[in-house]
Structure 1
Amino acid sequence: MTTAAARGPEPGVVDPDPVASAPGAPVRGAGPARPAGLAALLPYLRAHRGTLAVVGALSLAGAGASLAQPLLTRAVLDGLTTDRPVTGLVSVLVALVVLGAALGGLRDYLLQRTAEGVVLGTRRRLAAHLLRLPVAEYDRRRTGDLLSRVGADTTLLRAVVTSGLFETVTGAVMVVGAATAMALLDPVLFGVTLLGVAAGVGFAVTVARRVRRLSRAAQERVGEMTSAVERSISGARTIRAARAEHREAAVVSASAESAYAAGLRVARVQAVVGPVSAVTIQGAFLLVLGLGGARVAAGAISVGDLVAFVMFLFFLVLPLGQAVHAYTQLQTGLGALQRIEEVLDVPVEGADDRATGPAAALPPAGRPARIEFDRVGFGYPGGPPVLHEVSFTVPAGTRTALVGPSGAGKSTLLALVERFYEVTAGAVRLDGVDLRDLPREALRARLGYVEQEAPVLAGTLRENLLIGAPEATDAALLTALDQVNLGHLVERTADGLDVQVGEGGVLLSGGERQRLAIARALLAGPPVLLLDEPTSNLDARNEAALRRAIDAVAVRRTLVIVAHRLATVVDADQIVVLDGGRVVAVGSHHELTATSPLYRELAAHQLLVS
């Protein structure tokens, strides 16, 4: 199958990670987030350089057409005062006005299309990066803040391309052209005008420089607000049952007020730029009209020169005001870009791997594998140690149960096999090969994993089943459902396998969600199956059906099962008892009831021994 990565980026969409893939690119995540500058925009614009070259040519042509209009206007006025024919000049002037408008419209359309392409490419790149972050990053960061970076922050890049970057460049071309023409028309009048304009623009730019820092702070507050909303919506049933709607609304309201206050700080700074620009424009016009009128009366310049100078002044101060506003927008966008780059700077899962061996080192896909835990130690980032010197072996093709009190480290062991986290001491091996020496993708292709929470994705029953086996037939899907006693789901409505399961599987019961997750794992047919509390939400009837399904697949697989209900694992080939992150006993059910006080206590509480 040809992957998107092998095909390369789609036309018009930025490469998924142009910086990281560039020769000699710096290693991401090597330090704190750096302030994003104009150079940071270049990778986002690289895929659109052809269109941007056309936009640049259109901008120059439009600027030329605009700058020629004052000179033609002067020629028309001079012709009228000397009774020379001006019909041709008027026609050319009208044509230039129409041409300038047409070029401007085409340029704006191309810019908007490019801006949308930049936003699309950035969102795709950011989403792909987020899905490859280490699991520890999901534990550390708030989901709503990550969503804000994909949504609100990327949207601000649109203004960077349209009203930010190119309005600044186009405005600079117009300003240089108009200033040159004004200096040639009347150096004295231009010098006086330049002093007033420069003072106003300098002040506006100084004020605008604060916008980036304030805008970043405002986006941080928006991310916090999004996190608060996401938490409230995801826990809506719990909140409603606890009659905590008003308290949660107050939390969201407080975060919204914080975002509002941060937005006001940005607005106050931006609001200063507009009046300063307006005063600059109006003051410049009044100065030119007053001083220019005096120079016309003195005979230093003609009326046509003054009119042309005023038109050039218009082409100077208006683009200059737009450029100052665009500069402010650019600072806002660069603040958002810094937040985007901050996430992209986080190394993806596996970036810090030691040199991995070939996938051929793994056992064949259809053969059960042996799992060894060799003096494994582990602690979650920022937390105390969870596992201490854990050693035991899961023979190939056998069923091993992990039991013990809550917090003993059972689920953590499964996470280490999946390489969601790396051991901090010792090693986990698959058929004698250290997992850290194996490619993650090839490793996980041989593992089936069912989490304790058994998450179900929003969508249809079919879509959930196909996550791990995208090529499976409908017949295989129905067989997997029957194995876990879920065949009735396709009979509820005429939609069959296309029946909706709701957000997070809300339209299914807890037991159905758990069995669906198990069916999903079974469908992929992995030689190693990791089950974390597979029967915690099942009634006796469905638990028995699931046990029969597990018995059927256990013949061809290595199974590791975390269980609190010992009745489901009493027939396991071996039971590993953990307590406080240590292995305290290993054996069969009968052996442990005789030799392990902790296991006997657990079994007695569940009425398995007298």
Structure 2
Amino acid sequence: MTPNDEQTNERAAILSTSAWRDMLSYLRPQRGLLLLGGLLALLGSMAGVVQPLAAQMVVDGLGSGETVTRALVVLTGMVVLAAVLNTIGYYILQRIAESVVLDSRRRLLGRLMRLRLTETARYQPGDLMSRVTTDTSLLRTVVSQALVETVTGAVVVVVILVMMAFLDPVMLGVTFGVLVVAALCIGLIVPHIQTATDRVQREVGDLNSSLERVLGTFRTVKAAGAEREELRASEGSAERAWRHGVRVGALEAVNGTTVGVAIQAAFLVVLGVGGARVATGEIEIGVLIAFLLYLFYLVSPMGSLVSAAANFNVGAAALKRIREVLALEPERCEAEPGSALATPEGADPEPLGVSFDGVVFRYAPDAPTVHHGVGFEVPEGGLTAFVGPSGAGKSTVFSLLERFYEPEEGTIRVGGREISEWPLSDLRSVIGYVEQDAPVLAGTLRENLTLGARGASEESIRDIVARTRLDALVERLPDGLDTVVGHRGNTLSGGERQRVAIARALLRRPRILLLDEATSQLDAANELAVREIVEELRREITVLVVAHRLSTVTMADRIVVMEAGRVRATGSHAELVAGDSLYRDLAATQFLVSDRDVEGGDGEGGGTGTHPLVAVGAAADGDRPAP
């Protein structure tokens, strides 16, 4: 069986798990406390069940003129005992419920952090957040009420019915007939509660997604004057959640009313039938009073059973949404990802070679093919630049190297070893990756720099800060490295965010460095600083860069020209200007090679005309030719 088959079977098993079995898996570690809490709650309920008998003793004693002190003491003791047992049992159950919520959140967070990138496209981030927060919170009610109250409520109901049968079977038959009718009505309502609750949770997830979308691009929304439009979209989800929530409330209200009406109807019928039996001398007045008290005692456990059924359906809807996330395919990490540096401090990093051989890839089964048999060889060390029009598949090379995605065909090797044979954590520890948009996380500047390199020394941090020209920024910030940089680094400029991303990658002391348009937002002075760093690094490790700027391309040891998901040519800048028309056109329009250099080519493809994809590539990548 292949790993994919195993993952498919695992996903099917998770999705097919029943709500009861799923809940029991969360409760298994708490089974000792659960038994104790359930037992105390049951004993508290049973102490309450004895109270009508004590009341009968009081009534009978008063009727016969006997002393009732003993009966009153027993009745008072039962009330106090029931209160104490119920309080302790309730606390234990609440503690268990919180533990279940914690366990479910840990499972979800563990799965989310290890999801494959292809799986994250299935859901909006806000919806996933809703499943971790709102849906898991619903499990608290299921444990503390639905699960235990189902057991204790059922036991108490059975005991009360036995007591009622002992007092008078005729009145029990009347009561039982009324309760069966009520149970049938409730059974028709409960499934609709689960459906409506599931819709509420989905709408809440959509609302979270809408808010995450707006807050994540707040400046863009405001600049576009789209607040009202986005507000309408968010309010739509809120209103739909409200409608489904009102439906849930209505159904639960009908459920609760059905129980109340059934008990009241049973009371009236029992009062009539029982009164007649007292009048004829078939039963004593104390028996009727005790029976009526038991009837009222049925209100609580019956209400608990109805509430438990409704709450469990709410929990079942939440569990279904949680299972959907747990069924998503995770990355297979052979070892737990850590924060160890790729190269220990004080040691020289050893460069690794990279090769692609016949790689075919697309982002989804129904998506167009991005790589059509891509193949190239990058030796150990040096600087290799990837150039080509937008959509040529340059950045995808980096995504495949990081194993964010797996190729359909072909072989990728790092250090002469197929990347599928590398433990995922080891592979990523030797690669430093600077993304095109240079994301910065919320938190302090220090936390951003040491992400994935928590063991870096203060000296190393200061050295990297200086090399990436961030020292002036650190001096300007009020708390230096410990200054909070805001959500997605919104207190930093674009160039500062890009330098932070570069510094973060270098601090891990990688053996391969991937730079995806790493200098696109830097001014001339800072670009020069980064270029000097790259110049130093190329002598120590392997550097791969997706580039559009002439300064980066001309300093490369080798250039890989890509077009439409294929490697078109490789060579030095001078060789490609002379021998490849696409590169010559790219150079003429994006790199501003002089007309003399372009005319020095072999004339392939029609001289100096602009390649039809160049303008699209320049617009998409935001590059501006340097003056």
Counterpart code for 2:147: L
Tell me which residue corresponds to 1:514.
498
Matched position secondary structure for 1:28:
helix
Match of 1:255 among 237, 245, 248: 237
Instruction: Say if 1:531 and 1:560, in contact at 8 Å, map to a contact too.
Output: yes
What is the CA deviation profile of residues 23-56 of structure 1, one whole-angstrom value per residue up to 9, with x for unaligned ones?
A: x999421379347421110111122112111112
What is the CA deviation profile of residues 446-489 of structure 1, one whole-angstrom value per residue up to 9, with x for unaligned ones?
A: 11111111111100011111112111122211211111111122
Tell me which residue corresponds to 2:357.
374
Distance 1:231 1:26, change over 3 A: closer
Match of 2:430 among 446, 458, 479: 446
Match of 2:196 among 214, 237, 247: 214
Tell me if 1:202 matches 2:184: yes
Counterpart code for 2:362: G
Tell me which residue corresponds to 1:268.
250
| Pairs within 5 Å for 1:347-386 | 347-350=329-332, 366-381=349-364, 382-386=366-370
Instruction: Say if 2:45 and 2:86, in contact at 8 Å, map to a contact too.
Output: no
Match of 1:80 among 31, 41, 62: 62
Supply the distance in 2 between the matched residues of 1:583 and 1:218 (Cα, whole angstroms): 50
| Pairs within 5 Å for 1:125-274 | 125-274=107-256
Supply the distance in 1 between the matched residues of 2:14 and 2:566 (Cα, whole angstroms): 37
Supply the distance in 1 between the matched residues of 2:396 and 2:387 (Cα, whole angstroms): 12
Supply the distance in 2 between the matched residues of 1:126 and 1:260 (Cα, whole angstroms): 26
Supply the distance in 2 between the matched residues of 1:365 and 1:441 (Cα, whole angstroms): 21
Tell me which residue corresponds to 1:402.
386
Instruction: Say if 1:197 and 1:317, in contact at 8 Å, map to a contact too.
Output: no
Cα deviation for residue 229 of structure 1 reads 1.4
What is the CA deviation profile of residues 394-434 of structure 1, one whole-angstrom value per residue up to 9, with x for unaligned ones?
A: 10112111111111100000000000000011010112221
| Pairs within 5 Å for 1:506-545 | 506-545=490-529
Normalising by structure 2, report the TM-score.
Answer: 0.89
Tell me which residue corresponds to 1:45.
27
Instruction: Say if 1:200 and 1:277, in contact at 8 Å, map to a contact too.
Output: yes
Match of 2:299 among 288, 302, 317: 317
Tell me which residue corresponds to 1:391.
375
Match of 1:458 among 417, 442, 458: 442
Supply the distance in 1 between the matched residues of 2:478 and 2:228 (Cα, whole angstroms): 41
Instruction: Say if 1:34 and 1:338, in contact at 8 Å, map to a contact too.
Output: no
Matched position secondary structure for 2:85:
helix
Tell me if 1:556 matches 2:543: no
In the comparison of the two structures, how many residue pairs are matched? 577
Supply the distance in 1 between the matched residues of 2:232 and 2:349 (Cα, whole angstroms): 55
| Pairs within 5 Å for 1:561-576 | 561-576=545-560
Supply the distance in 2 between the matched residues of 1:206 and 1:110 (Cα, whole angstroms): 33
Matched position secondary structure for 2:10:
coil
Counterpart code for 1:302: E
Instruction: Say if 1:469 and 1:524, in contact at 8 Å, map to a contact too.
Output: yes
Name the Cα RMSD after superposition. Answer: 1.9
Tell me which residue corresponds to 1:603.
587
Supply the distance in 1 between the matched residues of 2:139 and 2:557 (Cα, whole angstroms): 58
Matched position secondary structure for 2:114:
coil
Matched position secondary structure for 1:210:
helix
Distance 1:365 1:427, change over 3 A: farther
Distance 1:343 1:564, change over 3 A: same
Instruction: Say if 1:368 and 1:528, in contact at 8 Å, map to a contact too.
Output: yes
What is the CA deviation profile of residues 226-269 of structure 1, one whole-angstrom value per residue up to 9, with x for unaligned ones?
A: 11111111111111111111111111122222222222332332
Instruction: Say if 1:397 and 1:555, in contact at 8 Å, map to a contact too.
Output: yes
Supply the distance in 1 between the matched residues of 2:8 and 2:530 (Cα, whole angstroms): 51
Cα deviation for residue 444 of structure 1 reads 0.8
Cα deviation for residue 286 of structure 1 reads 1.6
Instruction: Say if 1:403 and 1:563, in contact at 8 Å, map to a contact too.
Output: yes
Instruction: Say if 2:401 and 2:412, in contact at 8 Å, map to a contact too.
Output: yes
Supply the distance in 1 between the matched residues of 2:145 and 2:417 (Cα, whole angstroms): 56
| Pairs within 5 Å for 1:416-431 | 416-431=400-415
Supply the distance in 2 between the matched residues of 1:273 and 1:566 (Cα, whole angstroms): 73
Cα deviation for residue 224 of structure 1 reads 1.2
Cα deviation for residue 139 of structure 1 reads 2.6
Cα deviation for residue 592 of structure 1 reads 0.8
Cα deviation for residue 74 of structure 1 reads 1.1
Cα deviation for residue 64 of structure 1 reads 2.0
Distance 1:377 1:25, change over 3 A: closer
Normalising by structure 1, report the TM-score.
Answer: 0.92
Supply the distance in 1 between the matched residues of 2:169 and 2:578 (Cα, whole angstroms): 105
Tell me which residue corresponds to 1:436.
420
Tell me which residue corresponds to 1:475.
459
Instruction: Say if 1:205 and 1:324, in contact at 8 Å, map to a contact too.
Output: no
Tell me which residue corresponds to 1:99.
81
Counterpart code for 2:355: E
Tell me which residue corresponds to 1:5.
none
Bigger shift: 260-269 or 467-476?
Answer: 260-269
Bigger shift: 365-374 or 510-519?
Answer: 365-374
Match of 2:320 among 335, 338, 350: 338
Matched position secondary structure for 1:45:
helix
Counterpart code for 1:607: L
List alignment gaps of at least 5 residues for structure 2: 1-5, 335-342, 596-627
Instruction: Say if 1:36 and 1:337, in contact at 8 Å, map to a contact too.
Output: no
Tell me which residue corresponds to 2:623.
none
What is the CA deviation profile of residues 65-98 of structure 1, one whole-angstrom value per residue up to 9, with x for unaligned ones?
A: 1111111111122122222222122112101101
Supply the distance in 2 between the matched residues of 1:286 and 1:552 (Cα, whole angstroms): 93
Supply the distance in 2 between the matched residues of 1:466 and 1:159 (Cα, whole angstroms): 40
What is the CA deviation profile of residues 129-157 of structure 1, one whole-angstrom value per residue up to 9, with x for unaligned ones?
A: 10101011123321111011011111111
Supply the distance in 2 between the matched residues of 1:60 and 1:138 (Cα, whole angstroms): 45
List alignment gaps of at least 5 residues for structure 1: 1-23, 354-361
Cα deviation for residue 303 of structure 1 reads 1.4
Counterpart code for 2:65: D
Bigger shift: 189-198 or 74-83?
Answer: 74-83
Matched position secondary structure for 1:427:
strand
Counterpart code for 2:390: S
Q: Give percent identity, aligned residues only.
A: 47
What is the CA deviation profile of residues 169-223 of structure 1, one whole-angstrom value per residue up to 9, with x for unaligned ones?
A: 1111110110000011100000011100111122112211222222112211211
Instruction: Say if 1:567 and 1:608, in contact at 8 Å, map to a contact too.
Output: no
Matched position secondary structure for 1:529:
strand
Supply the distance in 1 between the matched residues of 2:7 and 2:67 (Cα, whole angstroms): 64
Match of 2:271 among 286, 289, 294: 289
Supply the distance in 1 between the matched residues of 2:299 and 2:268 (Cα, whole angstroms): 13
Match of 2:41 among 56, 59, 64: 59
Cα deviation for residue 569 of structure 1 reads 2.5
Instruction: Say if 1:35 and 1:338, in contact at 8 Å, map to a contact too.
Output: no
Instruction: Say if 2:119 and 2:329, in contact at 8 Å, map to a contact too.
Output: no
Counterpart code for 2:422: L
Instruction: Say if 2:97 and 2:144, in contact at 8 Å, map to a contact too.
Output: yes
